[in-house]
Structure 1
Amino acid sequence: MKKIYVLSDSTGETAERVVRAALSQFGGSDVRIVRLAKVTNQQELHQAITVVTSDQGLLVYTLVDADLAHAAQTIAEEAGLMAFDLLSPLLNSLSVFLGSVAQATPGLLHQIDTDYFRRMEAVNFTVKHDDGQETRNLHRADLVLVGVSRSSKTPLSMYLANKGYKVANVPLVKGIDPPDELDRLDPAKVVGLMISPKRLVEIRTSRLINMGQSMKNRYADHEQVEDEIAFCRQYFRRHPGWLIIDVTSKSVEESASEILRRLTGQTIA
Structure 2
Amino acid sequence: MRLVLPSFGIDATFTPSAGKLTGPFKAEPVLDLASLDASAYAWSPSEEGTAPPLPDASSPAPAAVPTGVAYQAIRTSTGGQVTGLAARFTANPVAGRIDLVLIGRFRAAGTGEWADMASQDGAAVAGPLDDGGQYEAQVAWLSSTSIGDWGDTIPFTLAADTTPTGAPAGFAVTGGPGQARFAFTAPNAANFASARLYRSTTTSFANAVAVKTFNGAPNQAFDGTDARPAGTWTYWVRAFNASGFGDASSTAGPITVTVA
Compute the TM-score of the two structures, normalised by the length of structure 1.
Answer: 0.20
Higher share of residues assigned helix: 1
Higher share of residues assigned strand: 2
Based on CA coordinates, which of the two structures has the bigger radius of gyration? Answer: 2
Compute the TM-score of the two structures, normalised by the length of structure 2.
Answer: 0.20
